[in-house]
């Protein structure tokens, strides 16, 4: 009888708890494909064992802690608000594999989520939010990317967490540094400098560049060169000296300041700057050309030709430099060298009137009149206002052809006309007038030898 009573009691208790478990977990079972094993599931699994003692013993062990059972299974509010929320499943209804994996990961495979929810009802809300977020992020990136922040918001709102969709504070915009501002103004000035009508704008941009960054050298250099060209020498010196102070090894700055000192007749200072430029950069051959000009003005002809030869050996297409070298060689009485340099200048620039005139002077001094006529004729061809060439051409023609009075008279008349058109010319006008008068007398006398030409 005792045995029968024990069996009956066991069966009754099994039936009672199975019924209660089914009622409380119906919604969980319908929403999940695989639920974590509860104490009741453990009993159900062992029910297949034909030994009733085993069932009773298992039941007795399972329900010994009724407090845990109540907080785990009967608190359906937590489970309904999270696992039965279809918003997570509805986000990807077409993707069956995603729905299955989401449900499985949220309820069965994530042991942390299950353990934290079942063991402590007090901390279940926060544990569920953290675990769900980490699980969904780790395993279902595609699903979350499609729904944006809707899924996270639904879980956070139901679990009482703070809204995560807070506005991100933007960083401040990046502004130009003082050097970058100065560079922009300088480039604008360079653009304006290409238009002669934009001088005011160019100077304005250079001023703004200096104001933006007083330690930026290029604006001082460009402004100084502009002031040098407009003969504002004092301001040019101030700006070029500032550029030299900021960039003491800049050969272009040193060279321009040296040229300014030549204009100011500070030739010793100019020489020091040119020498310093060459020492700073052996390839800065422009300094040699400037030194050649400086030494020529100082009548230091040997040093001048040495400097010019160094320049011409590096720069072979500068007709002016060869012209300068020809002048130096002429001072050194090396006329053959001078002619060679003038010819080199003409080989680079065939219409260089000054070189033709210089050749004419050598030929005229050497009484090589025909070559002088040829040289001066080319000179006036390319420079119709060259009164000196017209004057010397008349001398060469009259010297070469003393009997060609008409030709000589025409040359002197042309020289006088060009000279009178130049208000700065005063010295050769009376000379030309005298020559014209004498030639006219000779022509008349030759035409009528018996006449008293010249009597009033």
Helix 217-229 vs helix 178-193: angle between axes, to the nearest 10 degrees? 30
Provide the phi-psi class of 362: left if phi over 0, else alpha when psi is between -120 and 50, else beta.
Answer: alpha
Residue 377's CATH number: 1.25.40.10
Give residue 142's pLDDT.
Answer: 37
Does 184 map to a domain?
no
Cα 80 from Cα 62, distance rounded (Å): 24
Residue 238: per-residue pLDDT: 97
Q: Establish if 40 belongs to a structural domain.
A: yes
| Phi-psi region at 422: left, alpha or beta (left = phi > 0; alpha = psi -120 to 50) | beta
Instruction: Name the residue with tokens 């052996």.
Output: 282
| Burial state string for 173-200 with b = 16 or more CB within 10 A and e = fewer than 16 | eeeeeeeebbbebbebbeebbeeeeeee
CA–CA separation, 77 and 158 (whole Å) = 10
Domain end point (choices 109, 131, 159): 159
Whether 28 contacts 103, CB under 8 Å = no
- The pLDDT value recorded for residue 172 is 86
Instruction: Report the domain count for the chain.
Output: 2
**Is 176 a member of any domain?**
no
Residue 130 domain flag: yes
Three-state secondary structure along 10-55? HHHHHHHHHHHHHHHCHHHHHHCCCCCCCHHHHHHHHCCCCCHHHH
Q: What is the pLDDT of residue 15?
A: 54
Closest CA to 154 of 145, 146, 163: 163
Calculate helix-pair angle for 353-365, 369-382, nearest 10 degrees: 160
* Structural domain includes residue 28: yes
306 vs 315: CA distance, rounded Å: 14
How confident is the model at residue 446, as a pLDDT?
87
* Mean pLDDT in order along the chain per 10 residues (456 residues): 55 53 46 42 43 44 41 34 35 38 38 36 36 36 38 42 69 91 96 95 97 97 96 96 94 94 94 92 91 95 96 94 97 96 97 97 96 97 94 96 94 94 86 94 87 53
Q: Which of 117, 135, 159 is the last residue of a domain?
A: 159
The predicted pLDDT at position 26 comes to 44
Its pTM stands at 0.56
| Spatial separation of the C-alpha atoms in residues 373 and 404, rounded to whole Å | 14
Range of the domain at 387: 352-456
Distances 230 to 175, 233, 234, 237, 242 between C-alpha atoms, Å: 37, 8, 11, 13, 19
Q: Of 107, 137, 159, which closes a domain?
A: 159
The answer to whether position 448 is within a domain reads yes
Alpha carbon 199 to its chain's center: 24
Q: Does some domain include residue 175?
A: no
Residue 391's alpha-carbon distances to 18, 396, 410, 420, in angstroms, are 136, 9, 11, 12
- With a CB cutoff of 8 Å and minimum separation 6, the contacts of 128 are 78, 82, 113, 116, 117, 155, 159
Q: Which pLDDT does position 96 carry in this prediction?
A: 37
- SS3 percent helix, strand, coil of the chain, rounded to 5, is 75, 0, 25
pLDDT score for 119: 38
């Amino acid at each position: 009888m005792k045995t029968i009573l024990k069996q009956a009691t066991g069966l009754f208790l099994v039936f009672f708890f199975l019924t209660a478990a089914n009622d409380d977990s119906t919604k969980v079972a319908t929403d999940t494909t695989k639920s974590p094993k509860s104490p009741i599931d453990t009993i159900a699994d062992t029910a297949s064992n034909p030994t009733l003692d085993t069932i009773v013993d298992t039941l007795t062990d399972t329900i010994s802690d009724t407090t845990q059972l109540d907080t785990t299974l009967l608190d359906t509010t937590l489970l309904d608000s999270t696992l039965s929320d279809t918003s997570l499943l509805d986000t990807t209804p077409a993707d069956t594999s995603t729905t299955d994996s989401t449900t499985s990961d949220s309820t069965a495979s994530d042991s942390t989520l299950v353990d934290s929810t079942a063991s402590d009802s007090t901390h279940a809300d926060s544990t569920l939010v953290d675990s769900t977020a980490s699980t969904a992020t780790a395993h279902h990136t595609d699903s979350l990317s499609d729904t944006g922040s809707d899924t996270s918001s639904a879980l956070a709102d139901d679990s009482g967490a703070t809204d995560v969709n807070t506005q991100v504070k933007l960083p401040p915009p990046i502004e130009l540094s003082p050097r970058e501002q100065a560079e922009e103004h300088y480039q604008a000035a360079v653009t304006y400098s290409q238009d002669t009508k934009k001088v005011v704008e160019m100077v304005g941009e250079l001023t703004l560049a200096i104001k933006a960054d007083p330690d930026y050298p290029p604006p001082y250099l460009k402004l100084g060169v502009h002031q040098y060209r407009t003969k504002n020498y004092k301001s040019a010196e101030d700006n070029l000296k500032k550029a030299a102070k900021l960039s003491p090894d800049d050969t272009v700055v040193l060279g321009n300041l040296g040229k300014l000192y030549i204009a100011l007749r500070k030739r010793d200072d100019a020489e020091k700057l040119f020498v310093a430029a060459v020492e700073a950069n052996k390839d800065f051959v422009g300094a040699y050309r400037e030194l050649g000009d400086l030494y020529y003005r100082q009548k230091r002809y040997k040093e001048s030709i040495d400097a010019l030869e160094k320049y011409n050996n590096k720069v072979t297409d500068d007709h002016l430099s060869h012209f300068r070298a020809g002048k130096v060689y002429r001072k050194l009485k090396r006329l053959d060298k001078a002619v060679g340099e003038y010819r080199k200048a003409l080989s680079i620039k065939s219409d260089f009137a000054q070189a033709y005139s210089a050749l004419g002077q050598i030929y005229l001094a050497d009484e090589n009149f025909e070559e002088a006529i040829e040289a001066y004729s080319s000179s006036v061809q390319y420079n119709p206002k060259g009164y000196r060439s017209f004057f010397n051409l008349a001398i060469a023609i009259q010297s070469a052809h003393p009997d060609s009075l008409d030709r000589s008279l025409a040359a002197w008349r042309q020289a006088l006309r060009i000279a009178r058109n130049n208000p700065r010319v005063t010295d050769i006008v009376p000379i030309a007038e005298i020559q014209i008068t004498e030639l006219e007398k000779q022509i008349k006398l030759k035409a009528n030898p018996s006449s008293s030409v010249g009597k009033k």
